[in-house]
Amino acid sequence: MKLYSTKNPKVFYSLKEAVLKGLPDDNGLFMPQSIPKLPNTFFEGIKGMSFTEVAFEMAHGLIGDSIPANDLLQIVESSVNFPAPVISLSNDIKVLELFHGPSLAFKDFGARFMAQLMSYYNDSDEPLRILVATSGDTGGAVAAGFLNTPGIEVVILYPSGKVSDLQEKQLTTLGGNITALEVDGTFDDCQHLVKQAFLDKELTSKHRLSSANSINIARVIPQMFYYVEAYKQLSDKRKPLVFSVPSGNFGNLTAGLFAKRMGLPVSQFIAATNENDIVPKYLKSGNYEPRPSVRTLSNAMDVGAPSNFARMLDLNCSTWNIMKDEITGYAYNDMATKKGIAEVWNQHDYVIDPHGAVGYLALQDYMKENGSVNGVVLETAHPSKFLDTVEEVIGKQVEVPERLAVLNDRTKVAIDMSIRFKDFKEWLI
């Protein structure tokens, strides 16, 4: 497998370089030079395969001989080790539950696979230190993904008092190779400290530092597996297959486009957003106008400049006309989101989270305009991560899974950190 930067298709990088660097020097995004199509027999015979087998065949198809098959199988087995079940709400509407991993969000797939790949490529005796700034959710998935990964230490910086109690517990109670720094500042301060560390010649020459950037190609690759896993589970595959993807940075939807390029018979993708509707607007008008994000109930999608947009463009020959044929966009405000949660509960007896609700609403609107389909809504987080909103709407207690509930009894361990780079650097050394 070779990769290029979206800003320069003429220079190629190895998968190892792309994974360890995260971003190319020209600030583009890494893209596979080719996305090979899997044979029809793979999709025809998929019924009898396990999720791990599906994931391995896709990973192997894309990555090729860059990683020997036995090693790749091990990487897949240690990262794709929880299910992605399809739940049927009605004849037309299915929900793909992506929250069965350790942090109860779909980001677990990306974080775990990236951790495994980084560890595989980390061929030095000196530990690789991953610096992550988080505003809440990503940090939990990354921390859980890297926990106990040999040769890797993770330092998580989070803004003191600005993440939820549960999120803080997800960051500060793991121990082992995960260290949490509670920064006396904002998320931007945390991000600034991390950026300064990468620019500091003394630090980078003495220590092996890396980032667990959300646009690392290693996070996109495993996200294509579950689109195919969903297809596998559909009992009737005759109607057009439509995925509705609640989106923020659009890594998830980009992975769906990858899966389609590999041969998955997808009829349409739906880009479902909250009021941060930059991509739905682009799909309607052809004008891409990023702007500062606004806060919503589906806060993991509060993104004003979607970082994977460059990949979506690249996959569509940088042409609006082509992209709007394969992706339809819809956006919803918080009031509509609450209505969506209520409707799914009242009509289908299913508790959906605010992100999934946005996807559900978009699928409904798509079907109003296009008729009945095989519709799959990606449920990106467990509803118990958004207890206040969900319980207020459905008027009933939401069951909190054991792996989240146990965090309440654990003791927070974090190191206080100022926003001065000098302090952070001293601590790192």
Ligand X SMILES: *Cc1c(COP(=O)(O)O)cnc(C)c1O
For ligand X, the binding residues (CB under 6 A) are 105, 107, 137, 246-252, 300-301, 355, 380-381
Report whether 295 contacts 333 (CB < 8 A): no
Min separation Cβ 356 and ligand X, Å: 8
Return the SS3 of 331.
Answer: strand
In one-letter notation, the amino acid at residue 157 is L
- Distance CA(295)–CA(365), nearest Å, equals 24
**Angle made by CA atoms 29, 32, 33, in degrees to the nearest 5:** 115
Q: 19: which residues sit within 8 A by CB, 6+ positions away?
A: 114, 117, 118, 121, 216, 217, 218
- Any catalytic annotation for residue 107? yes
Catalytic pick from 107, 232, 260, 338? 107
- In the bound state with ligand X, the residue whose beta carbon lies nearer, of 279 and 407, is 279
Min separation Cβ 121 and ligand X, Å: 23
- Distance CA(49)–CA(124), nearest Å, equals 36
Min separation Cβ 297 and ligand X, Å: 11
- In the bound state with ligand X, the residue whose beta carbon lies nearer, of 237 and 291, is 291
- In the bound state with ligand X, the residue whose beta carbon lies nearer, of 376 and 417, is 376
Min separation Cβ 49 and ligand X, Å: 25
Report whether 360 contacts 93 (CB < 8 A): yes
Distances, alpha carbon 65 to alpha carbons 59, 70, 202, 422, in Å: 11, 11, 36, 44
* Ramachandran angles phi, psi of 11, nearest 5°: -105, 135
Min separation Cβ 415 and ligand X, Å: 26
- In the bound state with ligand X, the residue whose beta carbon lies nearer, of 137 and 229, is 137
- Distance CA(353)–CA(297), nearest Å, equals 10
Return the SS3 of 122.
Answer: coil
Min separation Cβ 163 and ligand X, Å: 14
Identify the helix (H) or strand (E) that includes residue 246.
Answer: strand 241-246
- In the bound state with ligand X, the residue whose beta carbon lies nearer, of 197 and 283, is 283
- Distance CA(143)–CA(355), nearest Å, equals 22
- In the bound state with ligand X, the residue whose beta carbon lies nearer, of 128 and 393, is 393
- Distance CA(181)–CA(428), nearest Å, equals 11
- In the bound state with ligand X, the residue whose beta carbon lies nearer, of 55 and 142, is 142
- Distance CA(105)–CA(108), nearest Å, equals 6
Q: Please, what is the angle between helix 421-428 and helix 187-199, to 10°?
A: 60
- Distance CA(139)–CA(163), nearest Å, equals 11
Min separation Cβ 290 and ligand X, Å: 14
Just list the catalytic residues: 107
